[in-house]
Amino acid sequence: MDEISKSDQEWRQILTPEEFGVCRKKETEAPFTGKYTYSKEDGIYRCTCCGNELFSSDTKFDSGTGWPSFFEPLKENSVKYETDTAYGMTRTEVMCAKCGSHLGHVFDDGPKPTFARYCINSISLKLEKTTDGKTNQT
């Protein structure tokens, strides 16, 4: 996978201030406010910044945490991980493998079969809806 590298100035030109804050500066959207938190639409969730395919709606579940949650990425090489020690705790940060965009965090309290809970910011995602075998990005 070819990685994308842009300066903050370049990202600011193509992202909204909210998208830039979450995706490039590792901010977090408020819980229960994201447009995909309760979405049950079928499709592929892509990276807001670069369009990389990240998660399938088939792996989405309601974790009750206030953020969209998935039990596995679409492909293992779609995301990459780093240890996050901010806020006095140790967590595993999830980022887009193609552009390094901050997506959220992964925890080990999810459902079967993986027991993983990928807790992802809606603003980091764009849903490419599938209806009748066709896709439509929103």
So what's the pLDDT on residue 132?
62
Q: What percent of the chain has pLDDT over 70?
A: 94
Q: Sort strands 117-120 and 102-107 into parallel, antiparallel or unpaired.
A: antiparallel
Of 47, 43, 77, 78, nearest in space to 60 by CA: 43
Q: State the chain's mean pLDDT as an integer.
A: 93
Q: Residue ranges of the domains in the chain?
A: 8-131
36 has pLDDT over 60 = yes
So what's the pLDDT on residue 1?
66
pTM over 0.85: yes
User: Domain spanning 8-131: which CATH class is it, in words?
Assistant: mainly beta
Tell me, yes or no, if 23 is annotated catalytic.
no
| Residues constituting the chain | 138
Q: What percent of the chain has pLDDT over 90?
A: 87
User: How far apart are alpha carbons 95 and 34 in whole angstroms?
Assistant: 18
Of 115, 131, 104, 112, nearest in space to 36 by CA: 104
For residues 24 and 135, the model is more confident at: 24
Catalytic residue among 47, 96, 99, 119: 119
For residue 65, give the amino acid letter.
T
Sign of CA pseudo-dihedral 98, 99, 100, 106 = negative
**pLDDT tens-place string over residues 42-78:** 999 999 999 999 999 999 999 999 999 999 999 989 9
The owner of tokens 């709606």 is 57
So what's the pLDDT on residue 136?
61
User: How far apart are alpha carbons 3 and 56 in whole angstroms?
Assistant: 21
